[in-house]
């Protein structure tokens, strides 16, 4: 059973690359909807014990806590520092917890697909798959970034998210997860085109409602 750490930046500063699709008044609502659907799907995954959300945004903290997530405040500046902060909070309570870092912008996330990825990361249920490292990662749909990074008990997460993080995680010794059929775990949303692809996969109810409101406003 995994503890999943999800970083959520302050909503007012989130999703600036969606400027081609939504104005600055709407982007915070979309970012919150993405995070809520991501965390709800993670909590529904049978391989997940708990979700720790690292955020100092009061609205996001309140809404995500209402879903059942643990909120970890005091997030330091920067995505990777925030993830390390969440990892420390998890392992202060359980030093031998397997930890996964998950992007907050996966609105099409499916619990069953996340379970497949985590099973591969745990090197369980994969015929002929010999253990070959305590850390693993999943590349994003573009094949450049990373949407999920895992560390088994006794291993530090050592996150290197941002930009070309696929290459950095691979260079750090993490094993790349090469599963097919887990598109919802790979589809993060940064741009309007990303959002359109996520919608074609089928997004969660909060994102669907936020996008419907955006379309009505147009």
Beta-carbon contacts of residue 36 (< 8 Å; ≥ 6 apart) = 63, 64, 67, 204, 206
The bridge status of strand 146-151 relative to strand 135-139 is antiparallel
Contact of 53 with 4, CB cutoff 8 Å:
no
- pLDDT of 54-89, one tens digit each? 999 999 999 999 999 999 999 888 999 999 999 999
Supply angle C-alpha 71, 60, 168, rounded to 5.
70
Cβ(88)–Cβ(95) below 8 Å: no
Token pair in block for residue 93: 């309570």
The pLDDT of residue 25: 66
**What tokens does 123 get?**
């090197």
Contact 137, 176 (CB under 8 A): yes
Q: Cα angle at 80 between 79 and 84, to 5 degrees? A: 120
pLDDT for the residue 209:
93
In the structure encoding, which two tokens stand for residue 10, read together? 């302050």
The pLDDT value given to residue 76: 87
Below-50 pLDDT ranges, the chain: 124-131, 216-218
For residues 126 and 149, give the distance between their C-alpha atoms in angstroms, rounded to a whole number.
Answer: 18
Which pLDDT value is given to residue 212? Answer: 86
**Is the full-model pTM beyond 0.95?**
no
Residue 21 assigned ligand-binding role: no
Architecture per CATH, 2-217: Alpha-Beta Complex (3.90)
Say whether 12 counts as a known binding-site residue: no
| CB atoms closer than 10 angstroms to residue 215 | 8
pLDDT at 117: 98
In contact, 161 and 78? CB cutoff 8 Å: no
Give the C-alpha separation, 191 to 111, whole Å.
23
The answer to whether the annotation marks 165 as part of a ligand binding site is yes
């Amino acid at each position: 059973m995994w503890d999943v750490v999800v970083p959520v930046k302050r909503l007012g500063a989130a999703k600036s690359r969606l400027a081609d699709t939504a104005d600055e008044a709407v982007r915070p609502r979309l970012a919150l909807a993405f995070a809520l659907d991501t965390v709800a799907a993670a909590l529904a995954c049978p391989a997940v014990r708990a979700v720790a959300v690292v955020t100092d945004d009061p609205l996001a903290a309140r809404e995500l806590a209402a879903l059942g997530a643990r909120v970890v405040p005091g997030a330091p500046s920067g995505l990777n520092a925030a993830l390390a902060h969440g990892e420390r909070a998890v392992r202060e309570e359980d030093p031998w917890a397997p930890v996964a870092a998950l992007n907050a912008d996966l609105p099409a996330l499916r619990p069953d697909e996340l379970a497949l990825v985590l099973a591969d990361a745990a090197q369980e249920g994969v015929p002929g798959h010999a253990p070959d490292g305590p850390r693993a990662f999943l590349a994003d749909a573009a094949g450049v970034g990373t949407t999920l990074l895992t560390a088994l008990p006794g291993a530090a997460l050592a996150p290197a998210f941002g930009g070309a993080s696929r290459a950095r995680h691979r260079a750090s010794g993490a094993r790349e997860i090469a599963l097919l059929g887990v598109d919802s775990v790979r589809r993060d949303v940064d741009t309007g085109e990303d959002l359109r692809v996520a919608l074609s996969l089928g997004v969660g109810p909060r994102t669907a409602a936020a996008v419907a409101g955006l379309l009505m406003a147009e």
